[in-house]
Amino acid sequence: MFELKLNNKTIQLKWGTWAMREFCNAKDITIDKYFELLSNTQFDLDIIIKLVHIGYKSACVSNKQSIEYDENDACDWIDEVGSIFKTDGQIIDYVKYIVETTVINIKGNSKEEKKKSNKIKLG
């Protein structure tokens, strides 16, 4: 879980399968387009806002909490932490967290698939 530290509160953001599905649905893209998007070094503003808001919603779902904030609030959070342009800022760190989480999920799945196929070949 990633913590977005604001002046007066901390917002939890979580990225995983639920968030990836929600993001793909919100952007009306397939999972391969999602991976392509993550490999880009530039994001448009709407994508960043959706990444933050969906991460917040994902944390709420995981923690069994109600969703109280919308994308307008996510915009305020982004402004409060120094915007998307702050090179050593929390938004850049959050995007890195998303990429790392996605890569770990992919690598973890492929390793398990290899193990399964090896067991079949040996058995």
Please state the φ and ψ torsions of residue 15, each to the nearest 5 degrees. Answer: -125, 130
Per-residue pLDDT at 109: 52
Per-residue pLDDT at 121: 43
pLDDT beneath 50: ranges in the chain: 110-123
Helices (H), 6-89: 17-27, 31-39, 45-62, 71-80
CA distance 102 to 99: 5
On the 0-12 / 13-18 / 19+ scale of CB atoms within 10 A, 46 is exposed
Whole-model pTM: value is 0.80
Per-residue pLDDT at 122: 44
